[in-house]
Amino acid sequence: MMPFWRDVWLIIISFLMFLGTIYIYFRLRSSTFRRVRKLLEERVEVKTKQLVEKNLELEKLSLVASKTDNAVLIAGANGEIEWVNDGFIRLMGMQKEMVLGKRLSEINVYTNIENEIREAVTSNHSRIFESNVTTHNLENVWISSTLTPILNEFGKPKKLVVVDADITRSKEMQRQIEISLKEKEVLLKEIHHRVKNNLQIIISLLNLQSGYIKDEYTLKAVKDGQNRVRSMALVHEKFYQAEELSEINFGEYIEKLTQFLYQSYGDKTDRVQMILETDTVNFDMDTAMPCGLLVNEIVSNAYKYAFPGDRKGEIRIRLKKLDHTITLDISDNGTGPPPGFNPETSESLGMQLIQALTSQLDGEMHFSGENGTRFTIIFKYPKT
């Protein structure tokens, strides 16, 4: 009897173990399925959120592209037009069937479009260019186009996107501004010309008056006055002759002014040499006028007092620019100033003018009486 019941119990125990194994297996499978399901649900939720965001973004882009007043055009890599928005149709006065399927170069809208496409693809950057277009409504419009290449993962063009803006009104305003500026330029040149002519009349009157003056001192004063007026007239002459009315080349001005001073004070020989060392420096009216008068005063004094009798020598003018600092250096190797001379306490009109003009430039004046006479004026240009 014992072996029989032992076998029965073994069978029962084996069966129960089998049932337990099956139960554990299905519990594990169920747990695994729940985890996988949860992961899938989370992934689906993330993907759904991303798709919703993408759809919203595409909806916004579609709204912008279709409703904007700017013309938007999409073409394939070969330049064949695939899509245009309503703004393009309105701007160009074309129907879609007149555009779709044609190449960009065939619709007679864009200037030199093949070259623009080549440059955009080569540089992988947008190209901005302008075109003057006669639309199908026979309207003449200016458009500003932005051509953007869309490249694939291999760096090859996949699509071409062109966005056009009507700039006809801006072009017309620009043309009106250019006309207005041209008119003002002509008027300003005429003003400079008339001022120069009026100053020349003053010079002529002073010249006539000097014919009746017998006193040598008075005659010299009138002559100095003529030269001062001439230096101012020359500034106006340079301005109305200049291409740009805002500034003049001051080096050229110095060259011409010194020629006048030589004719006025020189003895028509090579006894006194004039040496010019000037950088290319341009001044506006407010700076050119006092600088011109400074050159006139200092050079005139050198001609009058530095080389008495048959004494030979030279007058040297240096005009240098470093960043925004201008250095005007005028020197001679003549007899030099009298002992104890101080330009700050001098009562002569010329020295008072030199100091006043330096102050007008917001500059500094340095004087030296060694081995001749030397004036160095340093100032900022443009003024800060």
Which class for 45: exposed (0-12), middle (13-18), buried (19 or more C-beta within 10 A)? exposed
Please compute the mean of the pLDDT values over residues 361-375 and round it to a whole number: 92
- Whether the per-residue pLDDT at 1 is higher than 60: the answer is no
Tell me which of 49-53, 108-112, 207-211, 314-318 is least confident: 49-53
Contact 276, 254 (CB under 8 A): yes
According to the model, what pLDDT value does residue 378 have? Answer: 95
State pLDDT tens for residues 114-164. 888 888 888 888 899 988 888 777 788 898 999 999 888 877 888 998 888
According to the model, what pLDDT value does residue 212 have? Answer: 77
Which phi and psi (to 5°) does residue 350 adopt?
Answer: -60, -45
Of 383 and 361, which is predicted with more confidence?
Answer: 361
Name the band, by pLDDT with cuts 50, 70 and 90, for residue 55.
low
The rounded distance, in Å, linking the Cα atoms of 382 and 237 is 22
**Cα atoms in the 13 Å half-sphere on the side-chain side of 54:** 6
The rounded distance, in Å, linking the Cα atoms of 289 and 234 is 9
- Whether the per-residue pLDDT at 275 is higher than 80: the answer is yes
State pLDDT tens for residues 132-143. 888 777 788 898
Please compute the mean of the pLDDT values over residues 187-191 and round it to a whole number: 76
- Whether the per-residue pLDDT at 268 is higher than 70: the answer is no
DSSP3 helix / strand / coil % (the chain, rounded to 5): 55, 20, 25
What pTM was estimated for this model as a whole?
A: 0.59
Tell me which of 260-269, 283-292, 350-359 is least confident: 260-269
- Output the DSSP codes for 144-176: EEEEEEEE-TTS-EEEEEEEEEE-HHHHHHHHH
Please compute the mean of the pLDDT values over residues 345-360 and round it to a whole number: 88
Six token digits for residue 152: 């694939």
According to the model, what pLDDT value does residue 315 have? Answer: 93
The rounded distance, in Å, linking the Cα atoms of 330 and 164 is 59
- Whether the per-residue pLDDT at 209 is higher than 60: the answer is yes
According to the model, what pLDDT value does residue 329 have? Answer: 96
